[in-house]
Amino acid sequence: MAQIFNDAVLTDEGAKLLARSQTGAFPITFTKICTGSGIYADKSVEALKLATELLSKKQTFGIAAKKISPSNPKEVQLTSIITNRYLTVGYYLNEIGLYAQAGDDSTTEILYSITVVETDNSNYFPEYNGHSPAEIIQGFVITVSNSANVVVQISSDAYAPATDFNDHVDSSVTGEDGVHGIRYHSEIIQVYVNGEWVDAASGGGGGSLATPEEVETLAEELMEESGGGEDMDIATDEDVDETIENLDDL
């Protein structure tokens, strides 16, 4: 059964960074999240506000996505994916920290907020078994005075949540510009080939599937070129039809 984490607490260092950014001096840049196995004797808000680092850091993950809340422009939603894909020693996932810095100054990176598990130990996060990685989608909701002053370092090795990927495809593939070389335009699926959009049904090159007669003619020409004699069998129409049906089934 999944363990419940307490509400995230804005640390004192995080509050200072937020206050300074609201003056317009620099944007807040959220950089990463870290997970750990630390056990906290005092889990009160007052105690956690004083934290400057996780008690027992185990893993670090990039931030995979950033969204501005459609209902509140001052609310920034961050998403990270916790995975055991490269984990060699399991641990109890008891603490999660969100890190940030002033603008692009990496020397100012601090523990912005922290959340800890309600009980002494959370569920055990196992080492990777080489087959199916365990993954947790972790979300954060940050309230700021101006979401334009929030920068997120989107990690190139962070996984995109499936919902974000699907939203991206759904919103783009139906547009005129398409996405990833595919578009659904004027009720036709098209692919981008050699600098132009062509109907996918044409095979991506404007051509069409060969008829059985064309296949038979081509086979005859190839055999003549290869020196085939009259003792070689020519495929019948039935043979060609059967071959095409078999290819269609692939």
> Is residue 97 classed as helix, strand or coil in its secondary structure?
strand
DSSP H helix total and E strand total for the chain: 5, 14
Distance CA 128, CA 136 (A): 14
Cβ-count burial of 108 within 10 angstroms (0-12 exposed, 13-18 middle, 19+ buried)?
A: middle
DSSP assignment letter at 4: P
Cβ neighbours of residue 31 under 8 Å, at least 6 residues apart?
Answer: 63, 99, 100, 101, 106, 109, 153
Distance CA 105, CA 21 (A): 13
Which pLDDT tens digits describe the chain residue by residue (250 residues)? 456 888 899 999 999 998 888 888 888 889 999 999 999 999 999 999 999 999 999 999 988 888 887 888 778 888 888 999 889 999 999 999 999 998 888 889 999 999 999 887 778 999 999 888 888 888 888 877 665 566 665 544 444 444 544 554 455 555 566 555 566 666 666 666 666 777 765 554 444 444 555 555 555 555 555 455 444 454 555 655 565 555 555 4
For 83, the token pair is 């995975």
Domain ranges of the chain: 9-157, 161-208, 212-245
Cβ neighbours of residue 217 under 8 Å, at least 6 residues apart?
Answer: none
Q: Are strands 28-36 and 95-102 parallel, antiparallel or unpaired?
A: antiparallel
